Amino acid sequence: MEGTGVNLDAVTKTFGIVDVIRGVDMEINKGEFAVFVGPSGCGKSTLLRMIAGLEETTSGKIRIGERDVTNEDPAKRGVAMVFQSYALYPHLTVFENMAFSLRLARRPKAEIMQKVHEAAEILKLTEQLEKKPSELSGGQRQRVAIGRAIVRAPDVFLFDEPLSNLDAELRVQMRLELARLHKALGVTMIYVTHDQVEAMTLADKIFVLQGGYVQQWGEPLELYEDPSNRFVAGFIGSPSMNFFNATIAGHTADGISARLDGQPDLGLEVRLSQALEVGAEIVVGIRPEHLALTDGPGLRVTVDVAEELGGMSYQHGTLEGGDAVIFQQSGARHGLRGTVQTVVPEPGNIFAFDREGDRLR
């Protein structure tokens, strides 16, 4: 832990009788881009607001750099936050919005001018400085909100779902700009989103939250390739992983052979070091991109919806037993809708979980 990273130690948050954050430890190093991701209601925004000081921390410690800021005023934590609603002051111009914190601190005029213009330069807002927020487009407002944060030169930037009010195209563009900004400024950033694509593309480190706990954290590909439970496996990756109930049918050299319930003909080989009894009930997870069409034996899928994306397509269908399946297909352009297809999983890319959702390794 060096410089101005963020460190959380057994942090909890209770609203009345509801435990929102049930004990979170995390360590974000200086200059890292950390992303909190999870479904709505998982507590990710609350956690961010606790780091910002907008929510009180029920127990545990929050440290920014070497300082314990658990009970510190928001303004004294050295953080700046970009809100989902942007929270621009509607009665002030772009310039005054960005200068707000410096004016409160009674900085000299020349310094305010210089800092605001520098930030405006970075964000290509120089032309808009005299406008009111209501005269700006969504993307420009977003930039002003970021500019307001930059001007304060904080140790840590906090973003609360900053792109969710933008249209899809702009969101992709702003995502890139944020990534560049992070590289240019080199400061610690913490970013909250429910969109796992944003999380995957931006993060140095992803924290997957659910039910008030960090389910797993790590680099994006680490989470994708080695999820530690069924929730993370389902949440990271798009479209999400297919899950099938299965029973262990036998042992192989480096793992087990599993039979899907309702598919007695097909044995799936899963690499496992854990020793499990034959007959144990497990859950098998296979990503849509790891299912391939085949002429031989496999899973017979009745395709009912095909999402054509041009270069590839996602085929949605059901197994004979009624389980929903999605598989990805690239290249072929002919429609598969309404047909029955046979797919097999790529060996080595099958995950096994116990029925409680924990990963079997």
Partner 1 sequence: MQNQRRRRELRSAAMLVAPFLFVFTVFFFYPTLKVITLSFTNAPLIGEGEWIGFDNYVKLLSDRLFYTSIWNNFYFVLLTVIPTTVIALLIALAVDHLKGRVQALVLTLFFLPYVLPVSVVTLIWSWMLDFQFGILQPMIEFFIGRPVAVFKDPHWVMPMIAVVTIWWTNGFNVLLFIAGLRNISPDLYEAAALDGATNWQRFRRVTWPLLWPVTALVLTLQMILQLKLFDQVYLLSNGGPFNQSYVVLLQMYREAFQLNHGGYASAIAMVLFLTIVIVSVLQFQLLRMGGRK
Residues of this chain that interact with partner 1 (CB under 8 A) are 52-54, 73-76, 79-81, 83, 85, 87, 89-91, 100-101, 104-105, 148, 152
Given the complex with partner 1, which of 51 and 209 has the nearer CB atom?
A: 51
Min dist CB 48 to partner 1, Å, is 12
Q: Which of 239, 216, 219, 240 minimizes the C-alpha distance to 227?
A: 216
Q: Give burial (CB, 10 Å; 0-12/13-18/19+) of 277.
A: exposed
Given the complex with partner 1, which of 104 and 309 has the nearer CB atom?
A: 104
- Token pair 């044995």 is found at 267
358 phi/psi in degrees, rounded to 5: -80, 145
Given the complex with partner 1, which of 187 and 286 has the nearer CB atom?
A: 187
* Tally of CA atoms within 13 A in the half-sphere of 16 that contains its CB: 1
Distance from C-alpha of 32 to C-alpha of 2, rounded to nearest angstrom: 12
Given the complex with partner 1, which of 51 and 336 has the nearer CB atom?
A: 51
Min dist CB 146 to partner 1, Å, is 13
Given the complex with partner 1, which of 116 and 241 has the nearer CB atom?
A: 116
Min dist CB 117 to partner 1, Å, is 19
How crowded is residue 221: how many other Cβ atoms within 10 Å of its Cβ?
11
Q: By the 8 A CB rule, do 42 and 211 touch?
A: yes
Given the complex with partner 1, which of 85 and 302 has the nearer CB atom?
A: 85
Alpha-carbon distances, residue 155 vs 4, 25, 80, 94, 187 (angstroms): 6, 20, 8, 23, 6
Min dist CB 156 to partner 1, Å, is 11
Min dist CB 213 to partner 1, Å, is 26
Min dist CB 87 to partner 1, Å, is 4
How crowded is residue 264: how many other Cβ atoms within 10 Å of its Cβ?
10
Token couple for 186: 């080199």
Q: Is the alpha carbon torsion for 331, 336, 342, 343 positive or negative?
A: positive
